[in-house]
A and B are shown apart, each in its own frame.
Chain A
Amino acid sequence: MSQAQTESVDEDGVIESVSGPVVTAADLDARMNDVVYVGEEGLMGEVIEIEGNLTTIQVYEETSGVGPGEPVENTGEPLSVDLGPGLLDTIYDGVQRPLDELETKMNSAFLDRGVDAPGIDLERTWEFTPTVEAGDAVEPGDVIGEVPETESITHKVMVPPDSDGGEIESIESGTFTVDETVATLDSGEEISMHQEWPVRSARPAAEKRTPTVPLVSGQRVQDGLFPIAKGGTAAIPGPFGSGKTVTQHQLAKWSDADIVVYVGCGERGNEMTEVIEDFPELEDPKTGKPLMSRTCLIANTSNMPVAARESCIYTGITIAEYFRDMGYDVALMADSTSRWAEAMREISSRLEEMPGEEGYPAYLSAALSEFYERAGLFENVNGTEGSVSVIGAVSPPGGDFSEPVTQNTLRIVKTFWALDADLAERRHFPSINWNESYSLYRQQLDPWFRDNVAEDYPEVRQWGVDVLDEEDELQEIVQLVGKDALPEDQQLTLEVARYLREAWLQQNAFHDVDTFCPPEKTYRMLQAIKTFNDEAFNALDAGVPVEEIQEVNAAPRLNRMGTAEEWDEFIDDLEGDLESQIRELY
């Protein structure tokens, strides 16, 4: 997190009371959202309420042993993040303290308190290459140079949004630390690679646009049925164990975003460790470079201080916006937004605020929409186009989607991936329920799929949707009379639907090949099942009994398409065999 530049000039306050993460102080001269240091140990906190002479502070660290009478010092600055080269290939806590740095400073595997560290390394040097020259006029947001930040990402150095702009007086290539001046303006303003931004305000943009390009996920049920746009929003609600985290990890691994910001909010420590261990080894399918070099991780695990859980979401989205400003497509995953909402609830209840639905604060809905509003496809102030896609997991108590966080989220997001415990139990993964889920982006993305995957992509998809719908209806009858009692054509529909579910919608995240499915393969797999469908119904019309059609030995090979490495040939052969074998029957 960003550290106060100036020594505090304000009066210190004195702690009046301590209750868990909430501390009140008297005589503190502070503004709302100022960062303060609490107690003898200087624990980081933020002002969240001011009433008369009393200031209420949420503390981002454990408060055990802290008592009344200890001092509170105001930094006079709002909670901000450090922005600049060094954000990627990093793991932070909820207030942007690098966790590797904390390990070193604390000399322990356990998180101690009262230790601070800047969000980006202030000592490290970077190769800066200007993209403008002396005499050029620049405005806030304009790119003035580039730094190779990681193997795969070029960091764009921008004029800070709060600068006045002007004419470049001097600018040179060279090796600099983030705080050294790389350019000087005629106004005398010095520009370095280091910016700060208060996390609770969105970074400015020129215009929000309608997204028309999908965030390709490499997951069949998503790309195939419920696509999300670059700059879109999605929610993944589901009970525990239904696959929220694996789905988020899959998107972080395989989606075609330029930058991934992954926020582990109030979830397991090991899940973050898994990312830290796996991502450096995995290849970005787009660039062939290690995935970690496009990734920024933010971890406030469930046992870390609850106030920092409230802030980690904002830390994440601000970093995402910063890369968006450079013209990148950023995807932000938040796992889980429910823990964030619960953190708000916990703080709010300690403040004895009037509770709204289920004890959540009345501003829950506003906080959620403010957050998701920061997603979008934007024309940036510097004229480039960038996007932030936001995908939030939701953890409804008891798996009941009628609760406030799910409901308020669904009112905002445009893609709904509903996870289903029943599917998860039978190990149908991803357990995204195809009847309940939806994507409101389908139509605006169709042209892209037509142009880039197949001209008839939307039609073939619609065929698949129709078969699955029909199966849903037929299942109700089957539950009463058994499958054998159905007419033959309906039995065949059930068979086709089964292939859609088992061979197409199911996708094993842990299989080397199946884990990532390019949209072309998604399309061809669906086509192959349709080939089976069309041939089979022709045969049925020609009087072939349904059992004979089902027993065609090429059919079960449909189940092997997902794991087939040479899928193009595999599907060519399979379609050929299906055709000839079924036609042989009549």
Chain B
Amino acid sequence: MKEYQTITEISGPLVFAEVDEPVGYDEIVEIETEDGRTLRGQVLESSEGLVSIQVFEGTGGIDRNASVRFLGETMKMPVTEDLLGRVMDGSGNPIDGGPEIVPDERRDIVGAAINPYSREYPEEFIQTGVSSIDGMNTLVRGQKLPIFSGSGLPHNDLALQIARQATVPEEDEGDDDDDEGSEFAVIFGAMGITQEEANEFMADFERTGALERSVVFMNLADDPAVERTVTPRLALTTAEYLAFDKGYHVLVILTDITNYCEALREIGAAREEVPGRRGYPGYMYTDLAQLYERAGRIQGREGSVTQIPILTMPSDDITHPIPDLTGYITEGQIIVDRSLNSQGIEPPINVLPSLSRLMDDGIGEGLTRGDHADVSDQLYAAYAEGEDLRDLVNIVGREALTDRDNKFLDFADRFENEFVQQGYDTNRSIGDTLDIGWDLLSTLPKEELNRIDEDLIAEYYREDAAEAVQAD
């Protein structure tokens, strides 16, 4: 392997070096500094005689005399089932003091796209025990469903609650312990989160014993930013291996995508690319898609990859490019809301802008319950109507509203306090969730339930609930 001492320029995370033999695009590079440190990087552009290299650990300490080695291959992740239970840094080096990892195989971290013809449409209901998700934004195995949050909001508590409680009900019946299949292997990919947040996750994993079936990749806030572009790819390569080669149902939690995107922006700026919206690179959609699309099911394979990426929306702005591009790629989004949080609602999920695109095929008779879709639609419509009226009531007062309107206002309040509110330790079955839904819907006149099939109304509507409210 040839060594060069030909660095001509160092700029931000980039190093430019002259070469006298061809170097492949995306190839891995090692740079050895004079003080003996070895840094890793990747070829961003390769032309006759000159390459630009993006250095993962940052370019600090590199000078013209550093030597550059091209490894002749693109970046690989060593994979094995033994990764379960291990903790690694953002570049995939173990940091838990455990034994050396003996790989089964080394896989390219830029995963190839799944052939759409080979996919299987995801439709197995995952019960998270969280009513606003299970009831109204149902998650299914193989889905990519991000949490859109804001800084300082309890998205981590929610993600941990999901990771703890997620099960696939049917397989759960009877033999709980020996059936590994219904439990998820959790892959946790941290990008630029604080040590404190990392501890929160690790403590929970340890407390619940989840660590044994987890693989953790940690790039923390003070770790190199450029490394963040690699961490999720290591995590997803591991996830795909465990799911599609070893048959695990894998839940991937990636946090915080916003930090990942900042790293992309930094690299783009260093390359002097024409920036896109708000300075993010024009190819960010494609780049994010190459992460998010690595979720799903494949025909004839046992396992699945379910993704729950977490992102904090800068200034809580859902139209910011990071949540915007994400929402265009993922199969819905769960919105953590600041004002519900200040009302003390746990988890503070605002269902209205939330969505699960794969819900429709995952619910209903034989999957969850026959009334699920209708109840969900009606809850949405009624809550939206109640929400609208809140603005009006501030202006005209309750007395100026019709009887009907007042019922919708009350409904909206109770919906937040009884349906959404549940705490981070309550694990509700889907049956409980739908029953609470009916409790609330039954406070509205029957004729107003125009999203629900009449037979279902006959079966589930509680006449007493309506009367009880009318009485007071």
A346 and B395 within 8 A (CB): no
Contacting residues, chain B, for A568 (C-beta < 8 A): none
In the bound assembly, the distance between CA atoms of A108 and B27 in angstroms comes to 24
Q: Which of B22, B282, B373 contacts A70 (CB 8 A)?
A: B22
**Per-residue A-contact encoding for B415-455, CB less than 8 Å = 1, 0 else:** 00000000000000000000000000000000100110110
The answer on a CB contact under 8 Å between B277 and A358 is yes
Contacts of B327 in A (CB 8 A): 239-241
Q: Do residues B285 and A65 form an inter-chain contact, with CB atoms below 8 A?
A: no
Residues in A with CB closer than 8 Å to B118 are 103, 109-110
A586 within 8 A of B: no
User: Would you give the 0/1 interface string for A425-452, flagging 1 where the beta carbon is closer than 8 Å to chain B?
Assistant: 1111000000000000000000000000
Residue of B nearest to A395 (CB): B328
The reply on B340 being an interface residue by CB < 8 A is no
Check A148 for interface membership: any CB of B closer than 8 A: no
Contact B282 A302 (CB under 8 A): no
Q: A426-B384, A482-B400, A556-B447 are contacts. A64–B110 as well, Cβ < 8 Å? A: yes
- Residues from chain A with a CB closer than 8 A to the CB of B451 are 427
Is B369 in contact with chain A by the CB < 8 A criterion? no
Tell me which of A14-22, A208-216, A228-236, A412-420 binds B.
Answer: A14-22
- Pick from A121-129, A195-203, A267-275, A466-474 the stretch touching chain B: A267-275
By the criterion CB–CB under 8 Å, are B293 and A303 in contact?
yes
Contact with A along B203-239 (1 / 0, CB 8 A): 0000000000000000000000000000000000000
Q: Which of A79-87, A283-291, A397-405, A570-578 contacts B (4 or more CB under 8 A)?
A: A397-405
Using CB atoms, name the residue of chain A closest to B400.
A482
Query: Are A111 and B114 interface neighbours, CB within 8 A?
Result: yes
Q: Say yes or no: A301-B113 contact (C-beta < 8 A), given A425-B353, A426-B385, A482-B396.
A: yes
Task: Report whether A110 and B46 are in contact in the complex, using a CB–CB cutoff of 8 Å.
Answer: no
CB <8 Å contact, A68 and B22: yes
Query: Chain B residue with minimal CB distance to A429?
Result: B377
Question: Which residues of B have CB within 8 Å of A274?
Answer: 121
Contact indicator A349/B274 (Cβ below 8 Å) = yes
Residues of chain B with a CB closer than 8 A to A170's CB:
none
Interface of B is mostly: mixed
Instruction: Verify if A373 is at the interface (C-beta below 8 Å from B).
Output: no
> A556 — which chain B residues lie within 8 A by C-beta?
447, 450
Instruction: Report A86-120 CB contacts with B as 1/0, cut-off 8 Å.
Output: 00000100000001101100101111110000000
Q: Which residues of A contact B285 (CB under 8 A)?
A: 266, 302, 339, 342
Q: Beta-carbon contacts of B39-50 to A below 8 Å, as 1s and 0s?
A: 000001111110
Check A277–B282 contact: CB distance below 8 A: no
Q: Is the CB of A99 within 8 A of B47?
A: no
Which chain B residues numbered 304 to 320 have a C-beta less than 8 Å away from chain A?
319-320
Which residues of chain B have C-beta atoms less than 8 A from A113's C-beta?
112
B402 x A484 contact (CB < 8 A): yes
Whether A560 lies near B276 (C-beta < 8 A) is no
Give every chain A residue within 8 A of B320 (Cβ-Cβ). 398
Contact with A along B264-288 (1 / 0, CB 8 A): 0000000001111100001101100
With contact pairs A18-B25, A65-B74, A485-B400 given, residues A397 and B113 touching in the complex (Cβ less than 8 Å) = no
Bound together, the chains give a CA A108 to CA B358 distance in angstroms of 25
The distance in angstroms between the C-alpha atoms of A427 and B353, with both chains bound, is 10
Distance of A65 Cα from B46 Cα, bound (Å): 10
A490 at the binding interface (Cβ < 8 Å) = no
Shortest A135–chain B CB gap in Å is 46
Q: A68 contacts which chain B residues (CB < 8 A)?
A: 22-23, 46-49
Contacts of B112 in A (CB 8 A): 62, 108, 110-113
Interfacial chain A residues near B44, Cβ < 8 Å: 19
- In the assembled complex, A545 has its CB within 8 A of some CB on chain B: no
Q: Considering the chains assembled together, what is the distance between the CA atoms of A24 and B402 in angstroms?
A: 70
Assess the B74–A484 pair: CB atoms within 8 A: no
Q: Are B283 and A306 in contact (CB under 8 A)?
A: yes
Interface string of A531-574 (1 = CB under 8 A from B): 00000000000000000000001001001100100000000000
Q: How far is the CA of A299 from the CA of B113 in the complex (A)?
A: 12
Closest Cβ of chain A to B327, distance in Å, is: 4
Given the complex, which residues of B lie within 8 Å of A239, measured CB to CB? Answer: 327
A303 CA / B114 CA spacing, docked (Å): 9
Is B113 touching A111 in the complex (CB atoms < 8 A)?
yes
| A479 interfacial contact with B, CB 8 Å | yes
Q: Does A63 contact B (CB under 8 A)?
A: yes
Establish whether residues B113 and A479, one from each chain, have CB atoms under 8 Å apart when the complex forms.
no
Is B293 a contact of A302 with CB atoms below 8 Å? yes
Given contacts A65-B27, A67-B22, A273-B119, contact A400 B447 (CB under 8 A): no
CB <8 Å contact, B357 and A65: no
Instruction: Say whether, besides A109-B299, A510-B360, A426 and B381 are in contact (CB < 8 Å).
Output: yes
Is the C-beta of A174 less than 8 angstroms from some C-beta in chain B?
no
Q: Mark B389-406, 1 if CB is under 8 A from A, else 0.
A: 001100110001110010
Verify if A9 is at the interface (C-beta below 8 Å from B): no
Contacts of B373 in A (CB 8 A): 510
- B454 touches which one: A346, A398, A560 (CB < 8 A)? A560
In this assembly, does B85 line the interface, its C-beta being within 8 Å of a C-beta of chain A? no
CA distance A563 to B374 in the complex (A): 13
Contacts of A15 on B, CB cut-off 8 Å?
22
Which residues of B have CB within 8 Å of A188?
A: none
Closest to B274 in A: A349
Q: Does B324 contact A (CB under 8 A)?
A: yes
Chain A hits for B319, CB < 8 A: 397-400
Q: Does A362 contact B (CB under 8 A)?
A: no
Residue pair A269, B46 in contact (C-beta under 8 Å): no
Contacts of A426 in B (CB 8 A): 352, 380-381, 384-385
Interface centre among B46, B293, B360 (most CB of A within 10 A): B46
Query: Nearest chain-A residue to B318 (Cβ)?
Result: A398
Does B138 touch A at the CB level, under 8 Å? no
| Complex Cα–Cα for A121 and B68 (A) | 49
Stretch in contact with the other chain, from B56-64, B92-100, B190-198, B329-337: B329-337
Q: Which residues of B contact A103 (CB under 8 A)?
A: 115, 117-118
A483 touches B (CB below 8 Å): yes
Measured between C-beta atoms, what is the minimum distance from B186 to chain A in Å?
22
Residues of B within 8 A of A306 (CB): 283, 286
- Give chain A residues whose Cβ lies under 8 Å from the Cβ of B347: none
A359 at the interface (CB under 8 A from B): yes
Distance of A65 Cα from B296 Cα, bound (Å): 27
A346–B283 alpha-carbon span in the complex (Å): 6
**Bound: A17/B333 CA distance, A:** 40
Q: Which of B283, B293, B353 contacts A268 (CB 8 A)?
A: B293
> What residues on A are CB-neighbors of B23 within 8 Å?
67-68
CA distance A355 to B275 in the complex (A): 11
Closest to B240 in A: A110
Contact A110 B111 (CB under 8 A): yes
Known interface pairs A268-B293, A269-B119. Does A65 touch B328 (Cβ–Cβ under 8 Å)?
Answer: no
Please give, as numbers and ranges, the residues of chain A lying within 8 Å of B410 by CB-CB distance.
none
Q: A103-B115, A269-B296 are in contact. List 18 more A-B contacts (CB 8 A).
A: A63-B26, A64-B26, A65-B25, A65-B27, A65-B73, A67-B23, A68-B46, A69-B22, A106-B115, A109-B301, A270-B116, A274-B121, A301-B113, A359-B274, A478-B392, A480-B396, A556-B447, A560-B454
| Residues in A lying within 8 Å of B, measured CB to CB | 15-20, 24, 62-70, 91, 99-100, 102-103, 106, 108-113, 239-241, 264, 266, 268-270, 272-274, 276-277, 299, 301-304, 306, 339, 342, 345-346, 349, 355, 358-359, 395, 397-400, 421, 425-428, 478-485, 502-503, 508, 510, 553, 556, 559-560, 563
Q: Which residues of B contact A (CB under 8 A)?
A: 21-27, 44-49, 73-74, 108, 110-122, 244, 273-277, 282-283, 285-286, 289-290, 292-294, 296, 298-299, 301, 319-321, 324-325, 327-329, 331-333, 352-353, 355, 357-358, 360, 373, 377, 380-381, 384-385, 391-392, 395-396, 400-402, 405, 447, 450-451, 453-454
Query: Which 8 pairs across A and B sit closest by C-beta, in order of nearness?
Result: A17-B47, A398-B319, A302-B289, A426-B384, A109-B118, A69-B22, A303-B293, A559-B450
11 A-B pairs, CB-CB below 8 angstroms? A65-B27, A67-B27, A112-B112, A302-B329, A303-B293, A306-B283, A358-B277, A428-B381, A480-B395, A502-B450, A556-B450
